[in-house]
Every structure is written in structure tokens, then in C-alpha cells.
Amino acid sequence: MQTFLVTGGAGFIGSNFILKARKEQWSNIINLDKLTYASNPQDLEELQNDPGYYFVRGDISNIELISNLLEQQRPDAIINFAAESHVDRSILSPQAFIQTNVLGTFHLLEASRVYWEKLSPKKQEQFRFLHISTDEVYGSLSPTQPAFREDTPYAPNSPYAASKAGSDHLVRAYYQTYGLPTLTINCSNNYGPRQFPEKLIPLIILNALNRKPLPIYGDGQNIRDWLYVEDHCEAIYLVLQKSKIGETYNIGGNNEQMNLAVVEKICAVLDDLVPKSNFRYSSLITFVKDRPGHDQRYAINCDKIKHDLGWQPKENFESGLLKTIQWYLSNPSWVEQVQSGTYRTWIQQNYTDRDIACSSH
Ligand code: NAD
Ligand code: DAU
């Protein structure tokens, strides 16, 4: 069986990928994660006696650690999920985004290049460096513009998006300059189990259950294309197995939704699953001050991955949202653990000033 070095595997998408990879016996996994606030080692507890899983706490910027790990574990592929991933945090404190997303990716690439250059020709040919990136690098679409394609010019608008764009350019450069067999995925908004509740969908689910305001930035008309996380994980594995080197793929859910509609759908599911007499969850909807530089619309054209590799999303939004809400309802100890002191500090930092412009729905 192959061995994948996964970075950032204690976060949302990485943990879903690792659990699926071990369940489906895709590969053995080494998980290198710094364990920032966004991580949840508890998500992977079920693998603690799994001989095909090995966890290392560390930073992708630590080139010595990465080099030693590569020499000792000799992985067949690296999948780079590690990143600072939340746009609002990048607006309030951009530095960590440059440090991890740009410099961290650079150090990981450099250690990978040195390791790869010493492999046998056969192993060199089989090796892959798969970089997980975002559709946000393409900037913002108007309601009528065509969806992002792989050749859409980069136009990032937030420090997060700019840092991911920088990392994508480095990955491309390592392929063009050194021949490192890289691949890049630019994906739309993921949702599903184990997402940290600073992101829209889990934040709304948990605020609603606690009868707290459901904050909608601006007028709630911004559009995102939502993809169920397991569909993304399957695409990642497929790209690793089947893609030609040097390719980039856009991945999305064919599922454009306005933020207000997403929040209303969550409220409707909760009205069904956790009804309260004389109360509708949507009564908690509260419009708040907009995100600076808020991208209006993301939409993904995923014809290339459909055509080249035969991938398409399996989950529709209704079934995916139901599964997601049921997961949060069934895992109260997970919820309690992530809503710790540091989480509360963030909520206060991000939402206090926004109250000024609050109005009820
Ligand atoms: P996340 O914030 O949930 O998890 C990130 C993980 O990376 C955490 O476990 C964290 O501890 C780890 N990490 C952070 N800095 C690190 C460092 N310097 N060294 C090692 N580990 C570090 O993120 P996510 O939502 O799972 O996103 C994973 C990747 O997918 C990111 O690269 C993100 O840009 C990209 N992406 C996310 C989405 C989405 O909707 N969540 C969509 C498209 C692309
Ligand atoms: O498009 C892919 C990107 O999707 C990923 O690269 C990012 O890592 C991921 O965080 C996500 O970015 P967004 O900024 O789109 O996700 P977020 O969940 O933060 O916000 C989704 C939309 O909801 C966005 O238009 C802002 C809005 N929003 C968000 C929050 C947290 C609100 O209206 N209220 C909120 O409280």
C-alpha cells in the first residue's frame, strides 16, 4: 500500500480525508499538523491503534523536521492541506497567513524537492505533491459572469486569498523549474462534519441551537458554491491516482446558494429536527456589518475534472446539509470542546464591532 504524508490533517478537510483514506484502504497516512486553534486531534482518535496511521506534531515551515520525516517515512505522495484558512481572521491578523500559506508552502516544497531528487527514477516518476487550494484565488464574480475555469486569471481580494494565490504560484514554479511532479486543486466552499464553527454553516447551526443571533454579513446576497466534504476527498484521491503531473483542477458542488438562503435552509431543518413551540429559528437572523472586500460570488466550472477524470459530486445540498446538521446534533462533546476560551475570544473579536449595524430580520 502507498503512504501519503498529509499536512494539516487535524483540520476539517484533512481529518475527513484521513478517515476516508484509512476506511477505504487508499493508503497509509502520516499526518503532520501544527495543531493550531483550528485543529481537532480528537477527530482522529479512532485511529490511535491503527498501524497504518502515524501522527507528528509540527510546522510545515520547519524544513529540518520535514526533511527528516521524508527521509524516515519515505512517502509516495504529499498532500498539503495545512493552512490558515479563515478569511475574517486574515483581515484582522494577516501575518500568520503569509507565514504558513506562503512561507510554509515554500519550505514544504523545498524539502520535497530535495527528497524527490534523491529518489530512484521509478520512484521519482510515481511521486506526487498535491496542493489543496481555493477558488478564492480567482477573486469575485458578478451575478452574470461565467464560472471560474482553470485558466481564469488570478485576482485575490483578501489576505487569505492572496496568500493561497502565492502558494499556488510557488507550486507551479516548482513544477516548471525543477520538474517536481505537482498537482493543484482549487476548490469551492466545503461543508460537512467536523468543520470548525467559525465558518458560516457550523456557526449558524450552533448559534441557532443556543438561540444566539445568526449573523449575516451585509445583505446576505453573496453567493458561494457549496461542496460536501466527502465529494472533495474523493476528488483528491482521484486526482492523485489519475491526473497527469503539472495539472490544476477546479472542484465545486454545482450548487450556488445565496448566504441568506443557506441560513434559512439550516433554520428550516432545525425547525423539523429540534422544534421549539412558538419559535422559528429564522427569527434569530440578524444582518450585521459586511466583511471588508467581501467577494460577491464564487462559481466553479468543473468540466475539466468531469471530462478528464470522470468525477462529479454525489451529494446534493439538501441531503448534505441534513447529514451535517445531524452530525453536530450527535456530537455534543466535540462541540463543547471546540467552543473553548480561545473560540469565545474570537467570536467576541469578530462580532462585537459588527453589532453597531445590526438589525433583525
Ligand atoms: P482548517 O483551518 O480546518 O485546518 C487547517 C489545519 O492545518 C489545522 O489542523 C491546522 O492545525 C493545520 N496547520 C495550520 N498551520 C500549519 C502549519 N504551519 N504547519 C502544519 N499544520 C498547520 O482548514 P480546512 O478548511 O480543512 O482547509 C484545508 C485546506 O483546504 C486549506 O489549505 C484551505 O485553504 C483549503 N480549502 C478549504 C476550503 C473550505 O471550504 N474549508 C475550500 C477550498 C480550499
Ligand atoms: O471558497 C473557498 C473558501 O471557502 C475557502 O478557501 C476558505 O478556507 C473557507 O473558509 C471558505 O471561505 P468563505 O469566506 O467563503 O467562508 P465563510 O464560511 O467564512 O463564509 C461564507 C459566506 O458567509 C461568506 O460570504 C461570508 C458569509 N458569512 C460568514 C460568516 C462567518 C456571514 O454572512 N456571516 C458569518 O458570520
Domain range summary for the chain, segments of one domain joined by +: 3-194+226-257+297-317
Among the options 160, 281, 298, 328, which is catalytic?
160
pLDDT digits (tens, 9 = 90+) for 277-328: 999 999 999 999 999 999 999 999 999 999 999 999 999 999 999 999 999 9
Residue 91 to residue 166: CA distance in whole angstroms: 17
Q: What is the pLDDT of residue 357?
A: 45
For ligand 2, which residues put their CB under 6 angstroms from it?
A: 85-87, 134-136, 188-189, 199-200, 203, 215-217, 222, 224, 259, 291, 298
Q: Which residues contact 154 (CB under 8 A, 6 or more apart)?
A: 137, 138, 139, 165, 168, 169
Q: What is the pLDDT of residue 355?
A: 62
pLDDT digits (tens, 9 = 90+) for 167-221: 999 999 999 999 999 999 999 999 999 999 999 999 999 999 999 999 999 999 9
Ligand nearest to the CA of 83: 1
User: Once rounded to an integer, what is the mean pLDDT over residues 96-101?
Assistant: 98
Assign domain 3-194+226-257+297-317 to its CATH superfamily: NAD(P)-binding Rossmann-like Domain (3.40.50.720)
Pick from 195, 213, 226: nearest CA to 320: 226
pLDDT digits (tens, 9 = 90+) for 44-63: 999 999 999 999 999 999 99
Pick from 245, 338, 259, 248: nearest CA to 295: 259
Measured in Å, residue 8 CA sits from the centre of ligand 1 at 6
pLDDT band at 359, cuts 50/70/90?
A: very low
Measured in Å, residue 76 CA sits from the centre of ligand 1 at 21
The residue whose CA is least distant from atom 29 of ligand 1 is 81
Which three cell numbers mark 51?
Answer: 498501524
pLDDT band at 342, cuts 50/70/90?
A: confident
Among 200, 255, 262, which is best to mutate for testing ligand 2, by the most ligand atoms less than 8 A from CB?
200
Q: Report which of residues 345 and 67 the model is more confident about.
A: 67
pLDDT digits (tens, 9 = 90+) for 212-259: 999 999 999 999 999 999 999 999 999 999 999 999 999 999 999 999
First to last CA, the chain: 54
Q: Check if the beta carbon of residue 198 is closer than 8 Å to that of residue 36.
A: no
Answer yes or no: is pLDDT of 358 > 60: no
